Amino acid sequence: MSGLRGDRKPIVIVRRKPRRTGAQGGDSWKVAYADFVTAMMVFFLVMWIVGMEAGVRDLIEGYFTNPVGFKRMYGSGQNILAVGSSPVQTDVRRLSLLIREYQRERFERAQQRIYDRIGAHPELAGLQAQVEVMITDQGLRIELLEEEGGEPFFGLGSSAILPPAERLIRLIAQELEELANEVTIEGHTDALRYGAGDYSNWELSTDRANAARRVMEAAGLAPERIVEVRGYADRRPRVEADPYDPTNRRISIFLPFREPTAVVLRALRPQTRPPAYGTD
């Protein structure tokens, strides 16, 4: 028996650890990258909301406080802003709609205030019918129109603003101080030729727009908010059928709706998976 046991060979157990290839273990960086992209998205969103006007922040807070209540009101067609709620969700389109609706409400208040203040100043009574404040799909547009038999804004063929028109433009600038939108000022003439030599309607319309800009800045409108001053001469008539119509002579003040910045749009766009830069 002892001899038999001595003839047996010892049993050797070998444990081999599986070798991990680069394809199996090289994807961990993608998880970290996805976490980083998510964190940056949240960071840009928070910084953007912090930089909004107080009214917009209140609307966003109202939505997250009671989203169910908002959805019921939104579905019933009630005025969103009247109840202090907001349609903000995670997608850009709804957030843009919220911001636009809030701005539209502010434009409507500015529109009414401008009309009220003009009516309250007897010295501006002659210009009241020559001011048109409109809210379009692009933003707030204020037209200062010259009319047949009405008060002129400028001397004939001149860029010097007459005193009543200067008071009117100062009043408008003071009301626009309450808004945060950028401002574009445009000058227009009719088809009559007012200049001589090298000074044409192009120069005249641009000089008149610049004259309005100077008055608005002197009235307190921040210069950095004025992003463009344009002169169109007679190329964009208000009355296309009659290029000599006096209402074609006008100053236009335009405030476009503010939209989310490109950085915020990229941050809000959902990142479904990190881009592949190659395989390990």
* Cβ atoms 117, 126 nearer than 8 A: no
**What six digits make up the tokens of 200?**
């044409």
Q: Using one digit for the tens of pLDDT, what is the confidence trace for 195-248? A: 777 899 999 999 999 999 999 999 999 999 999 999 999 999 999 999 999 999
What CA–CA distances, in Å, run from 152 to 118, 142, 178, 222, 253? 16, 17, 28, 27, 17
Q: How far is CA 58 from CA 34, 50, 61, 86, 89, in A?
A: 31, 11, 5, 9, 15
pLDDT above 50 (res 86) = no
Report which of residues 223 and 259 the model is more confident about. Answer: 223
Percent of the chain with pLDDT over 90: 47
pLDDT attached to residue 6? 56
Looking at every residue in the chain, the average pLDDT score rounds to 79
pLDDT value at 168 more than 50: yes
Q: In the numeric block, which tokens belong to residue 76?
A: 């019933």
Lowest-confidence pick of 174-188, 216-230, 248-262: 248-262
131 within 8 A of 209, measured Cβ to Cβ: no
Q: Which two tokens stand for residue 82?
A: 């009247």
- In the chain, the percentage of residues whose pLDDT exceeds 70 is 68
Q: What integer pLDDT is reported at residue 223 of this predicted model?
A: 96
Measured in residues, the chain has a length of: 280
| 3-43 tens-digit pLDDT | 555 566 677 676 666 665 555 556 777 777 887 888 887 77
Angle at 126 between CA 209 and CA 249, to 5 degrees: 30
pLDDT on residue 19: 63
Residue-wise pLDDT for 140-152, tens only, equals 999 999 998 888 9
Classify domain 102-256 at the CATH superfamily level: OmpA-like domain (3.30.1330.60)
Q: Where are the domains of the chain?
A: 29-88, 102-256
Is the model's pLDDT at 276 over the cut of 50? no
When pLDDT is cut at 50, 70 and 90, the band that residue 161 belongs to is: very high
CA 129 remoteness from chain centre: 30
Closest to 103 in 3D by CA, of 219, 265, 255: 255
Question: What gap in Å lies between CA 3 and CA 148, rounded to an integer?
Answer: 133
Burial (CB < 10 A; 0-12, 13-18, 19+), residue 266, is: middle
User: Token pair of 261, please?
Assistant: 């910045």
Are the C-beta atoms of residues 172 and 114 closer than 8 Å to each other? yes
pTM reported for the whole predicted model? 0.64
Considering only CA atoms, give the Rg of the chain.
33
Which of 39-48, 63-72, 135-144, 226-235 is predicted with the least confidence, judged by mean pLDDT? 63-72
Return the ∠ at Cα 165 (arms to 162 and 170), rounded to 5°.
120
Answer for the pair 111, 123: CB distance below 8 angstroms, yes or no. no
